[in-house]
A and B are shown apart, each in its own frame.
Chain A
């Protein structure tokens, strides 16, 4: 398999117009948690290289292990960011709920990181916006408040608008905001995906802001999860999703995404689809 990010000086060519954030470096996955705790650089770097080779534009890094305090997570984040960027020439999505870890991650980062994520929770909103104001790069935002996830699309959009205003007050351009419409499991309530897509449509109506989604929660508790994730990705692409967290090693997922983009008329003469095919990015399996 040829690595598509081989020439460090050249800006890597995107394999599709939706930004792909590789989700695999996350300490809630048990082997990753172990690697973070034992400072197993090789393990993280291997995961990073494999996701980069499959076309990820950003790599999500979450090092929240549940041990120690905020300082521990900050220390882990700085280590992980440096470790991953030593292996691949990609920006990182710094995935944390801790302001200290966010700060440490941004300081360790080369180039413009994505911040994942701010929310409307009291302890998170202003501290995160204050930090984000000092850096460039995309800022993922969750319409979650201290009372949890709003039930309806309209309530979620109200929270999005609050975040837009607060961001503006902190000097952050709305164009940097990537709102997550919040994905809840289909298996728990069959109306959940519909509410997510309705929220996504609403986000697309807010001037300048963009959208991002984590897919895998949708299929919780159901068999053939990958199938459900892929179908949901296609539906969201139709609504104009701008960025997505997914497992780039799932060739079926990347294939569904590229096929959807071509079908939606966003891939002139199917060039990106065919390029991806020749690079083996459309092959099923790991």
Chain B
């Protein structure tokens, strides 16, 4: 039985129970946690990402697949720390001040976790000061800013300006997104990247990390 392929398929089909039972069996037979993650869970979510990008899979299915990843990660995580697995990178994320929409941000958060990033989610209505404290504390590779309202896009720009004042030589990259946000706007306010959706954001972050 090819556990990797089975695991990948279970992630694509959005079947968290199956993911758990396959991992249990595979671990008993001596498979390594790292390999199950890379060759099973990750390969599954990669297919999901590609299909989402081609409009062959849709948000509810992506959410179920991400849930599978999360279940799988929960089972595998204790074994990683023992083996000292390095995470792919880290992300601090939040919805900017004055905006309480969390859907897009949660999707991004889920996709990053699912792709092996360490994610700190600050929630919604996050003031620039809180973003500054969090990047100071967690030293992430990326900071994600979300805004759903055209009226809170100005908060996004304030936040980026505040972070620049705090630390002109910041080492983390700022990714912005949300329905009204455009690539042009991201450049205008001095963010490093713009992502159109959760899958694009995670692909972007992965390619940046691989370039490092």
Q: Is A66 a contact of B59 with CB atoms below 8 Å?
A: no
Q: Is A222 a contact of B182 with CB atoms below 8 Å?
A: no
Question: Assuming A30-B182, A147-B100, A188-B63, is B151 touching A64 (CB within 8 A)?
Answer: yes
- Residue of B59, B101, B151 touching A221 (CB-CB under 8 A): B59
Question: Assuming A30-B182, A147-B100, A188-B103, is B153 touching A66 (CB within 8 A)?
Answer: yes
Q: Is A223 an interface residue (CB 8 A)?
A: yes
Q: Is A223 a contact of B58 with CB atoms below 8 Å?
A: yes
Say which size band chain A's interface belongs to: 20 to 34
Q: Distance in Å from the Cβ of B103 to the closest Cβ of chain A?
A: 6
CB-nearest residue of chain B to A66 = B153
The digit string for B141-156, where 1 denotes a CB below 8 A from any CB of A, is 0000000011101100
The digit string for A143-186, where 1 denotes a CB below 8 A from any CB of B, is 00011110000000000000000000000000000000000010
Q: Is A277 an interface residue (CB 8 A)?
A: no
**Which chain B residues border A221 with CB–CB below 8 Å?**
58-60
CA distance A58 to B179 in the complex (A): 25
Q: Which of A27, A66, A147, A149 has the most B CB atoms < 10 Å from its CB?
A: A66
Q: Is A148 a contact of B124 with CB atoms below 8 Å?
A: yes
**Which chain A residues border B59 with CB–CB below 8 Å?**
185, 187-188, 220-222
Chain B residues within 8 Å of chain A by Cβ, number: 19
- Residue of B101, B151, B182 touching A98 (CB-CB under 8 A): B151
Q: Is B55 an interface residue (CB 8 A)?
A: yes
Q: Is B180 an interface residue (CB 8 A)?
A: yes
Q: Is A256 an interface residue (CB 8 A)?
A: no
Q: Is A65 a contact of B150 with CB atoms below 8 Å?
A: yes
**Which chain A residues border B60 with CB–CB below 8 Å?**
187-188, 190, 221-222
- Residue of B55, B154, B179 touching A28 (CB-CB under 8 A): B179
The digit string for A59-72, where 1 denotes a CB below 8 A from any CB of B, is 00010111001000
CB-nearest residue of chain B to A222 = B58
CA distance A189 to B103 in the complex (A): 11
**Which chain B residues border A220 with CB–CB below 8 Å?**
59
CB-nearest residue of chain A to B52 = A221
CA distance A89 to B20 in the complex (A): 62
The digit string for B117-137, where 1 denotes a CB below 8 A from any CB of A, is 000000010000000000000
Q: Is A85 an interface residue (CB 8 A)?
A: no
Q: Is B185 an interface residue (CB 8 A)?
A: yes
Q: Distance in Å from the Cβ of A33 to the closest Cβ of chain B?
A: 8
**Which chain A residues border B150 with CB–CB below 8 Å?**
27-28, 62, 64-66
CA distance A89 to B148 in the complex (A): 32
- Residue of B55, B58, B63, B180 touching A66 (CB-CB under 8 A): B180
* CB neighbors of A among B45-71 (8 A): 55, 58-60, 63
Q: What is B's interface to A at a CB cutoff of 8 Å?
A: 55, 58-60, 63, 100-103, 124, 149-151, 153-154, 179-180, 182, 185
